[in-house]
């Protein structure tokens, strides 16, 4: 397969490499990813993370394994193993459905490579369109708040919510970004802070619990987040903590935007309650770990609740900023979302 470079994926000499998102920002470690069990481990440990990136890495690995001579049956098993690696982000399932169709073609080796590279190129273009549509909503001097990480690390392109912020900053309209640290895994504190720093976008890092008082002080003009799955009725699953931001935004009269590509839409999920929510290990809440080491502060036998995502109901969302354009709450109520995302 031809060489390829995104912020966090590389193909070199027919091998997939991933930028370890658990080591950032202290270290930029590129790790080789030779087989399905390695990639599943990278995905489960969030070395590879972000809804679009999970789907793209799985698709690229399948195409490479086909080129290395893996049989059609083994590829199908591998595809289903990858599909089960994380449950919430539907981009993985959507991408793998397309790869499965390619796998059933007679020249499946060629078809898989072409489809995987097409998915990467499409994701780049989707990010650009989202950034264009979203930036038009950002007024001069905006102080924007974002949660988790939705940038080049999580996609093949400029990102979704961060792509919008980046484009709006390029137009001179962003005064600063409030970055939620995003407990428990700190995607904001580690990754978004790093990305915005690299991009030269002014930001201040806050603990998640500080967002409410900033809003009360009228120091947040809009909130921009990504999505892991958008249900047919417009409900959105995204990183845990997104829902509380949306409730706060409603109370304070602050616009709350969701930026996502159509590959995040699941027309088979009627509403948010049908979205599977990943539950994760207790150790992520009882302490923290990374390239800096591990620390635990809670008692060894602490009982823990650790959902990776929450669901924001459509009624709290001011706009769904998609590659196809901005869908408004009125349009969502009229059932236009599913039509727009086809």
Residues with catalytic function: 228
CB of 66 to ligand MRU, least distance (A): 26
**Cα gap 239→311, rounded to integer Å:** 9
Q: What is the DSSP letter of 262?
A: G
**Cα gap 30→47, rounded to integer Å:** 10
Residues paired with residue 16 on neighbouring β-strands, in sequence order: 11, 33
What residue number has its CB nearest to ligand MRU? 226
Please count the residues of this chain forming the interface with ligand MRU, following the rule CB under 6 A. Answer: 19
Indicate whether 155 belongs to the interface with ligand MRU (CB under 6 A).
Answer: yes
Residues paired with residue 33 on neighbouring β-strands, in sequence order: 16
The count of other CB atoms within 10 Å of the CB of residue 280 is: 18
Closest CA to 102 of 51, 158, 59, 153: 59
Indicate whether 46 belongs to the interface with ligand MRU (CB under 6 A).
Answer: yes
**Cα gap 93→150, rounded to integer Å:** 19
Q: Which of 6, 22, 85, 187 binds ligand MRU (CB under 6 A)?
A: 187
User: Which residue number, 112 or 158, has a Cβ lying nearer to ligand MRU?
Assistant: 158
Alpha-carbon Rg for the chain, nearest whole angstrom, is 19
User: 336 in helix, strand or coil?
Assistant: helix
Closest CA to 225 of 269, 274, 165: 165
Calculate the alpha carbon distances from 226 to 145, 159, 314 in Å.
12, 9, 14
CB of 150 to ligand MRU, least distance (A): 4
User: Which residue number, 182 or 318, has a Cβ lying nearer to ligand MRU?
Assistant: 182
CB of 23 to ligand MRU, least distance (A): 15
Among the residue ranges 31-39, 151-159, 167-175, 317-325, the one whose residues contact ligand MRU (CB under 6 A): 151-159
CB of 233 to ligand MRU, least distance (A): 19
| Residue ranges in 117-146 that form contacts with ligand MRU under rule CB under 6 A | none
User: Which residue number, 191 or 314, has a Cβ lying nearer to ligand MRU?
Assistant: 191
Closest CA to 276 of 312, 245, 237: 237
Calculate the alpha carbon distances from 265 to 52, 165, 226, 229, 339 in Å.
12, 22, 12, 6, 11
Site string for ligand MRU, 160-179 (x = CB under 6 A): x-------------------
First CA to last CA across the chain, in angstroms?
30
Q: Which of 226, 241, 272, 319 binds ligand MRU (CB under 6 A)?
A: 226
CB of 281 to ligand MRU, least distance (A): 13
Q: Any idea which residue has 């199908």 for tokens?
A: 76
Indicate whether 50 belongs to the interface with ligand MRU (CB under 6 A).
Answer: yes
Among the residue ranges 43-51, 75-83, 132-140, 289-297, the one whose residues contact ligand MRU (CB under 6 A): 43-51
User: Which residue number, 111 or 314, has a Cβ lying nearer to ligand MRU?
Assistant: 314
Indicate whether 230 belongs to the interface with ligand MRU (CB under 6 A).
Answer: no
CB of 163 to ligand MRU, least distance (A): 8
Indicate whether 316 belongs to the interface with ligand MRU (CB under 6 A).
Answer: no
**Cα gap 45→206, rounded to integer Å:** 24
Indicate whether 239 belongs to the interface with ligand MRU (CB under 6 A).
Answer: yes
Site string for ligand MRU, 64-103 (x = CB under 6 A): -------------------------x--------------
Closest CA to 128 of 294, 266, 281, 321: 321
| Residue ranges in 289-308 that form contacts with ligand MRU under rule CB under 6 A | 308
How do strand 309-312 and strand 319-322 relate by DSSP bridges? unpaired
**Residues making contact with ligand MRU (CB under 6 A):** 46, 49-52, 89, 148, 150, 154-155, 159-160, 187, 226-228, 238-239, 308
């Amino acid at each position: 397969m031809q060489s390829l470079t995104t912020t966090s994926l590389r193909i070199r000499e027919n091998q997939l490499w991933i930028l370890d998102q658990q080591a950032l920002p202290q270290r930029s470690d590129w790790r080789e990813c030779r087989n399905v069990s390695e990639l599943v481990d990278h995905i489960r440990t969030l070395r590879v993370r972000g809804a679009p990136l999970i789907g793209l890495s799985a698709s690229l690995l399948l195409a490479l394994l086909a080129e290395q001579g893996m049989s059609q049956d083994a590829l199908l098993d591998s595809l289903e193993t990858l599909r089960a690696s994380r449950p919430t982000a539907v981009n993985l399932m959507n991408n793998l459905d397309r790869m499965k169709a390619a796998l059933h073609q007679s020249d499946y080796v060629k078809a898989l490579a072409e489809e995987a590279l097409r998915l990467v190129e499409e994701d780049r273009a989707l990010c650009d369109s989202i950034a264009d549509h979203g930036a038009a909503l950002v007024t001069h001097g905006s102080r924007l708040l974002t949660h988790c990480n939705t940038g080049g690390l999580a996609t093949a392109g400029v990102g979704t919510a961060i792509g919008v912020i980046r484009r709006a900053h390029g137009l001179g309209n962003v005064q600063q970004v409030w970055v939620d640290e995003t407990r428990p895994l700190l995607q904001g504190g580690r990754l978004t802070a790093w990305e915005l720093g690299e991009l030269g976008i002014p930001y201040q890092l806050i603990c998640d619990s500080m967002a409410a008082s900033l809003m009360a002080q009228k120091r947040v003009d809009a909130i921009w987040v990504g999505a892991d799955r958008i249900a047919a009725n417009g409900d959105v699953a995204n990183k845990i903590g997104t829902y509380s931001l949306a409730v706060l935004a409603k109370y304070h009269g602050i616009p709350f935007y969701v930026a996502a590509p159509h590959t995040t839409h699941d027309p088979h999920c009627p509403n948010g309650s049908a979205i599977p929510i990943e539950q994760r290990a207790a150790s992520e809440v009882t302490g923290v770990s990374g390239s800096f080491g591990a620390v635990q502060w809670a008692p060894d036998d602490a009982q823990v609740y650790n959902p990776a995502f929450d669901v924001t109901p459509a009624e709290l969302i001011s706009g769904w900023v998609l590659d196809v354009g901005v869908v408004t709450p009125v349009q969502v109520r009229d059932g236009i979302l599913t039509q727009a995302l086809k």
